[in-house]
Amino acid sequence: MTMTKICLLSVCVLAMVCGVACAADIAVQESMVDNGEGVFTIGASDLEAVEGVGFRLSYDPDYLEITGVTNVSAGYVNYHAHDGNLSVALIFPEALTPTAEEPLVSVAYATLSDEPGSVRMTLHDAEYSVGYQNLTFTHESAADISFRKVAADTVKDGNWSALTPACLQYEVVPGVTIQAPTVSHGERSVFLSDVTVRKYAGGSWVDVPRSDVSVTEDGRVTISGDLRDTAKLNLTFTGKALGDANGNEVVNAADARDIARHAALSTPIDDVGAFYGDVNGNGTPDLADVRDIARYAVGLLDEHFHQR
């Protein structure tokens, strides 16, 4: 699963270097990660020909422990994590111009609770060096990063098949930004935009009406209604079974027929159907997929389209 990166924390400065105005930005690149053990990344943009970058990140040590920092850019890294403060210094052997998409460092963490949580993280005391001249960020920025508790992930676990639909289920605390996940197969990907939501309030789980849940075309999930006294939310995102090109929730000869008509350009299937019908992951539903689905339908291949 590929999650979309969102700049969560940023610190900006407008400085004059050699008569040129430079707007700098350093950001934590994820807004939601898994609880337990994992990593998040920190990147930079609008920095040109820098020799070094330094910053301090503060967080809640009662929920989060920083266990390591790895340099994923060129150069050397020193760090110190203690009592809710992480200090990082990067030195580049040659001047570097980082891009917003490429992280500078990867930060390993472990949550101290197995429940979902949200941590206020503040990025401050940042500086960088251009032309061996230190430039300090004078503005601080704070925002929350959400730690979700994953209950099921059929794609990551390898259970997505002709019998088991693509599905991601997790718990989060209310008030966080929620993005519908994508599932990828070969060169294609689609949103898992069919979502059901439950809320935990007053010591019990209650279904959130589907009319109170919406998903935009770019995957942003909005939950309306009364969420007061809600301790956590459970979200289940569901797609289709692999091979279910016509979306009728069963993989059979009808899917092979529809893909054959699509391949012959007589009756095209939509993009979602083309994604799920591409069982071999070569980027397009074709006669090879027709063969594999037909062989599965008569029991010659298993649910993963492997020889029995």
Summarised one tens digit per residue, pLDDT across range 165-199 is: 999 999 999 988 899 999 999 888 999 989 999 99
Give the pLDDT score at 191.
Answer: 95
Identical fold for domains 154-238 and 242-308, yes or no, is: no
Summarised one tens digit per residue, pLDDT across range 26-81 is: 788 889 999 999 999 988 877 788 888 888 999 999 999 999 999 988 789 999 99
Helix (H) / strand (E) element for 38: namely strand 37-45
Q: Which residues contact 236 (CB under 8 A, 6 or more apart)?
A: 152, 167, 168, 169, 195, 196, 197
Considering the entire predicted model, what is its pTM?
0.84
CB 135 within 8 A of CB 15: yes
pLDDT band at 15 (very low <50, low <70, confident <90, very high): very low
Mean pLDDT of 95-102: 80
Separation in Å, CA 22 to CA 16, 25, 48, 91, 137: 6, 10, 8, 20, 12
CATH topology classification for 154-238: Immunoglobulin-like (2.60.40)
Domain ranges of the chain: 9-147, 154-238, 242-308
Query: Does the structure show a pLDDT above 60 at 23?
Result: no
Q: 3-state DSSP: the chain helix, strand, coil percent, rounded to 5?
A: 10, 50, 40
Summarised one tens digit per residue, pLDDT across range 206-223 is: 999 999 999 999 999 999
- When the pLDDT of each residue in the chain is averaged and rounded to a whole number, the result is 87
In which residue are the tokens 């095209």 written?
Answer: 268
CATH topology classification for 242-308: Type 1 dockerin domain (1.10.1330)
Give the pLDDT score at 192.
Answer: 95
Give the pLDDT score at 136.
Answer: 60
Higher-scoring residue by pLDDT: 295, 99: 295
pLDDT band at 162 (very low <50, low <70, confident <90, very high): very high
Give the pLDDT score at 201.
Answer: 95
| Domain 9-147 grouped into CATH 2.60.40.680 | yes
Summarised one tens digit per residue, pLDDT across range 236-267 is: 999 999 999 999 999 999 999 999 999 998 88
Give the pLDDT score at 1.
Answer: 36
Q: What are phi and psi of 115, to 5 degrees?
A: -90, 155
Percent of the chain predicted with pLDDT > 90: 66
